[in-house]
Amino acid sequence: MKNTRLIEARKNKNLNQTELAEILGFSGKQSVANWENGYSNPTLETAIRLSEVLEKDIKFLFGNKVQDSHTKNISAS
């Protein structure tokens, strides 16, 4: 399921996927596209950085779906 909140927050900052990826230190837009399309979730560290850049709460952007590493999903309680 698409992450419409992340898409909306990015667009409200007038950023495209590539620009947001570069701000986060990624070399291309693929990670951002995957998060927006619901194929994967960012690590907690990246989610925190996204919330700072986009000026939105992590729970607003991702609910309880962030990863504690690149391979393991966790749910916050």
Q: Average per-residue pLDDT in the chain?
A: 88
CA distances from 51 to 37, 39, 42, 65 (A): 18, 19, 11, 14
In this structure, what CATH number is given to the domain that contains residue 60? 1.10.260.40
What's the whole-number mean pLDDT along residues 47-63?
94
Total domains present in the chain: 1
pTM for the model stands at: 0.82
Residue 75 has pLDDT above 70, yes or no: no
Domain that holds residue 70: 4-75
Report the pLDDT value the prediction gives residue 65, as an integer from 0 to 100.
Answer: 73
Q: Which amino acid is at 69?
A: S
Cβ density class 30-57: b for 16+ within 10 Å, e for less:
ebbeebbeeeebbbbebbeebbeebebe
Q: Between these two residues, 12 and 67, which has the higher pLDDT value? A: 12
Q: Please, which pLDDT band fits residue 77 given cuts at 50, 70 and 90? A: very low
Run of H or E including 53: helix 44-54
